[in-house]
Structure 1
């Protein structure tokens, strides 16, 4: 099942994508794609509905596929070849940092280049959406707490991230730096989250090509690991790291984003995103 949210920013309505690619409105069934809707029981109730019985809609905008995530947790350097291109050794334990939830936007919304930015960068990532509360869960039970998966662009400003002192969060959290979606694809439709191809283009030039098969720490390990340090709640998002090909790793000279560019990215079976870069708004 593919779940989504449609409508103006701040007033999105829940929906699902049917087998024919039609968007069916769910606002008469559930309040939003959040909370108990993401539990196994909530998803089972939606799965039992005949999509043809729901109103078809043609939205002008697709919003973030999860409403009001409580936490946006990111994993750094989780692909050995990406760690290498950044000049860092692969980590012995997952590197965790937070992205502000105010960065979350729809998959095709504009991306702002922050004022003073010199090193804005892209990162296609597999997103994991938590469906049921997870605290101290074992790795063999971890995926039972996952509602599904989505595409994430972990947009970053490298100078803010690494040259301004402190933690990485300030380089990860500008408004619009967290496009998610278009769909939340429920875990029953993803046979193996460690066998998904990822890609990203900038202005039609392929920059990233990778596979979740090369992640250092897999999804089950990450969910279990993170749950040892904080309770994961329904709607929380984990961005699991990016394959090589980010702008800071391009040689002989790094390449960074500026206003007026177009980014397209996707993951097999999870859909694709399309963003234009613009100057930061007030």
Structure 2
């Protein structure tokens, strides 16, 4: 099942996709049907701790000119960085290189402690798309993923849908695509993970407890390029939909924030 969370008429609603004679629409939990542009899209679930993987595709590591790490490279992201589908991400006026990162996001559904990889997928509730923006100006090396690189307000876009794990036939064979202003810029496949989902859950749960709602961003493939104010970025993953957002300058971001 695919479901979203949206704000409409002063309340937060769960919504599901439907197709009408007028095209795709959203059905709110109370039965009302609305166009997707009539609502404010939120992250499709209340995110807990966000674990982000770096260099989890070998070709992306080469692209950044980093050597492959010996164990998973994991850093944390704050909840204040999260926005939903059709949200706005700020590109600071004083930076020279900011790029998108299309990623499969894994949502934990059960408390996990000392889980072995053989049973790890039983702890996955479902999946969504993430666009994990990075500002390369401040990226020193993979040992120190500077807060200014990855934890900006609006820098973690999640959505549009939460998709139940049972609805994805093979999570290890999903194609990822990123378009900037309609042009295909990035393409990869989850079969190329350096460390798979089950192994990541085993690794993380070996020294800390994973809770329902925690999210693992599984890394991005090669093909990252600079984005500028005014750009529209679309991330697609097979079976999960299309995550759309726009880039704004400092001044534009301030105006967008005050009108939401």
1:109 deviation in Å? 0.7
Change (3 A) 1:10 1:142: farther
Deviations 1:126-181 (A, max 9, x none): 00011111111111111111110011001011112328x95433310101101101
1:220 deviation in Å? 1.0
SS in 1 for 2:179: strand
**Residue 271 of structure 1 corresponds to which residue in structure 2?**
241
Change (3 A) 1:160 1:132: same
Aligned: 1:137 with 2:115: yes
Please list every run of 5 or more consecutive structure 1 residues that lacks an aligned counterpart in the other structure.
Answer: 29-53, 248-255
SS in 2 for 1:107: coil
Structure 2: distance between partners of 1:210 and 1:155:
17
1:273 deviation in Å? 1.5
2:86 to 108, 116, 125: 108
Structure 1: distance between partners of 2:9 and 2:187:
31
Q: How many residue pairs get matched?
A: 246
1:64 to 21, 34, 43: 43
SS in 2 for 1:191: coil
Structure 1: distance between partners of 2:105 and 2:195:
14
2:214 to 236, 252, 256: 236
**Residue 32 of structure 1 corresponds to which residue in structure 2?**
none
2:149 to 147, 161, 171: 171
**Residue 180 of structure 1 corresponds to which residue in structure 2?**
158
**Residue 127 of structure 1 corresponds to which residue in structure 2?**
105
Contact 1:128 1:239 (C-alpha < 8 Å) held by counterparts: yes
Structure 2: distance between partners of 1:19 and 1:222:
37
Please identify, of 122-131 and 54-63, the stretch whose mean Cα deviation from structure 2 is larger: 54-63
**Residue 2 of structure 2 corresponds to which residue in structure 1?**
2
Contact 1:185 1:270 (C-alpha < 8 Å) held by counterparts: yes
Deviations 1:171-200 (A, max 9, x none): 101011011010011000011111000000
Change (3 A) 1:205 1:90: same
**Residue 194 of structure 1 corresponds to which residue in structure 2?**
172
Change (3 A) 1:82 1:10: farther
CA RMSD of aligned residues (A): 2.2
Please identify, of 150-159 and 202-211, the stretch whose mean Cα deviation from structure 2 is larger: 202-211
Contact 1:64 1:180 (C-alpha < 8 Å) held by counterparts: yes
1:204 to 182, 186, 203: 182
SS in 2 for 1:181: strand
TM-score, normalised via structure 2 length: 0.87
Structure 1: distance between partners of 2:170 and 2:129:
15
**Residue 23 of structure 1 corresponds to which residue in structure 2?**
26
Structure 1: distance between partners of 2:10 and 2:80:
12
Structure 2: distance between partners of 1:84 and 1:128:
24
1:85 deviation in Å? 1.1
Contact 1:200 1:208 (C-alpha < 8 Å) held by counterparts: yes
TM-score, normalised via structure 1 length: 0.81
SS in 1 for 2:62: helix
Which structure features the higher share of strand residues? 2
